[in-house]
Amino acid sequence: MTVGPGARREQTSILRETVAGSAALGVLAILVGAFAGHSAVGLGAALGLVIGSINGYLVIALLDRDSPFVFGSLMRLAALSAMAIGVALVFGSAPWSVLIGVAAAQVVMVAMSVRQGLRA
């Protein structure tokens, strides 16, 4: 665990990699969905991946503001879930597919964190 000035650089590196990985998986989800004849599901998963990839940035923003962790986490998760359902309704996708995309973005973030840890 890095503490000090280098910590923020490592965090933002993980977050940038999460956004890039989620975007790449989103493109793949759209292609697989279109190939399987379920383009709305693929689009929903891709949108969820993009929405979920901003979660790390929201965590850092809340920690920088010294907000209470539990309250901040509940509000952040509620906001991401509401955004996912709203996007699903706007784009005509199934809400579950967008929420699965949000969850997949968290898996991408964990994978990028593990990758960073193994490189250290």
Task: Name the residue among 111, 43, 49 with its Cα closest to residue 80.
Answer: 49
Q: Is the pLDDT of residue 39 over 60?
A: yes
pLDDT score for 5: 47
- Give, for 114, the enclosing helix (H) or strand (E): helix 95-119
Q: Where residue 3 falls among pLDDT bands split at 50, 70, 90?
A: very low
Q: Name the 3-class secondary structure at 28.
A: helix
Instruction: State pTM to two decimals.
Output: 0.85
pLDDT score for 53: 93
The whole-chain average pLDDT of the chain stands at: 88
pLDDT score for 10: 63
% residues pLDDT > 90 (the chain) = 64
